[in-house]
Amino acid sequence: MKPRVAVVTFPGSLDDRDALRAVALMGGDPVAAWHADRDLRGADAVILPGGFSYGDYLRTGAIARFAPVMAAVREYADEGRPVLGVCNGFQILCEVGLLPGALIRNRTLSFVCRWIHVRTEGPTEASAGLAGGEVLQVPIKHGEGQFVASQEEMGRIEAQGLVAMRYCAPDGTIDERFNPNGSAHNIAGLHNETGNVLGMMPHPEHAVDPDLGPTGGHAVFHWLLSAARDRVHA
């Protein structure tokens, strides 16, 4: 049975249809969910897609956080089901506290759309995160992707191995010159402690179709779908 993956559409979500398409292409069963829904239609995993939910005028994710569907998302996270937040989805996950830190305006103050490389970090023993040690080519497109956290929080993030991926050179070297937005420690994506929640600024859903470009998004969807499949069989 194909794992069912819900993609939540908030007013102002933009990459929701792309995420649905990517789920199907990668062998999942895509399910469209709506911000006003209170449940996720029995899906095995959930994606909070990119975009500008509710316009993102006050602060990214500030309003989406209160959407009815978020209670269900939180439940998924707590139950250990896979939750993927991409770009605006990552911002929302931070805003609701499912992931630490926050994303603020890029250091350059400009929006940036570019194909970049990230290196995945291995998950800790205890967690079920994305496999480490891979260099993925994926696009970013955001104006507020600079990851920040207080010093103590940063210490905890590193100590607990919560970093899922960092911006890097094409050969995988972590280097400030390849940091597109000024993120602390080149952080491009984070896990929660149990590894079932992943937030990332790059867009894996735009890096799955070889007709359109590199396929660095495969690794992320493989992780999401296999984690979802585990739930199906569990």
- Map the footprint of another protein across residues 74-93, applying CB under 8 A: none
Q: How far is the CB of 28 from another protein (least distance, A)?
A: 16
Please tell me the count of residues contacting another protein according to CB under 8 A.
53
27 or 55: whose CB is closer to another protein?
A: 55
DSSP single-letter state for residue 2 = P
- Tell whether residue 121 is a contact of another protein (CB under 8 A): no
- Tell whether residue 198 is a contact of another protein (CB under 8 A): no
Whole-angstrom Cα distance, residue 193 to residue 124?
Answer: 9
Active site residue 205: yes
Please report the beta strands in the chain, taking only residues with DSSP state E, as ranges in sequence order.
4-9, 29-34, 45-48, 83-86, 102-104, 112-120, 135-142, 146-148, 163-168, 187-191, 197-200
Whole-angstrom Cα distance, residue 210 to residue 103?
Answer: 30
Whole-angstrom Cα distance, residue 16 to residue 193?
Answer: 26
From 6-14, 74-82, 116-124, 127-135, give the range in contact with another protein by CB under 8 A. Answer: 6-14
Active site residue 203: yes
In the complex, which residues of this chain contact another protein (CB under 8 A)? 11-12, 14-15, 17-18, 21-22, 50-52, 54-59, 62-63, 66, 94-95, 97, 100-102, 104-114, 139, 141, 143, 146, 148-151, 153, 182, 203, 205-206, 209, 211-212
